[in-house]
Amino acid sequence: MNIDGEELIEQFYSRVEENMDNGMPYRDAIEMSAVTLGGPIPAKVSQAMAKYQEVIHPQSQLSQEENNDALALLSMGVLWDNTYFTPIEPDPSTPLENTLAESIYLIMKYGREEDGLNKALEANASNEGDVDVRAKAIRRVLGKA
């Protein structure tokens, strides 16, 4: 069975939603869905979680930066692609899995805050990349939280 990236990501978010519908908190639902689905998803979720932990750690350099979301998203891209880039517009050649990790990062960073859905969507809109795809993912998860 050959599943393309878009179908794999759709399966991932469907499982997250199902887990949340069954009473699981969104973070647990994300982690459980990634592990049970397998493929490249667990690695991307792990990268997003690690970057989230770095940005919220008060002693990290990243947490001290003014525009730490943009730097977090950019630094994840550097790790994935092994190149430095400055995205201008959504890049159709960027793997969907990277956008998934960017979405998970924003969900984790803003999800626990009051009005987290709107804060995550605002942060998403103010950063480069595939804003529409990330917004859809953020709504799917935090809209249920």
pLDDT score for 95: 65
Q: What is the mean pLDDT of residues 10-14?
A: 95
Radius of gyration, CA atoms only, the chain:
14
Query: Does pLDDT of 84 surpass 70?
Result: no
Alpha helices in 22-144 (DSSP H): 26-37, 41-56, 61-64, 68-81, 96-110, 116-125, 131-142
Largest CA distance in the chain: 45
Give the separation between CA 135 and CA 120, rounded to whole angstroms: 8
pLDDT in tens, 90-107: 444 446 778 899 999 999
Q: What is the mean pLDDT of residues 101-128?
A: 96
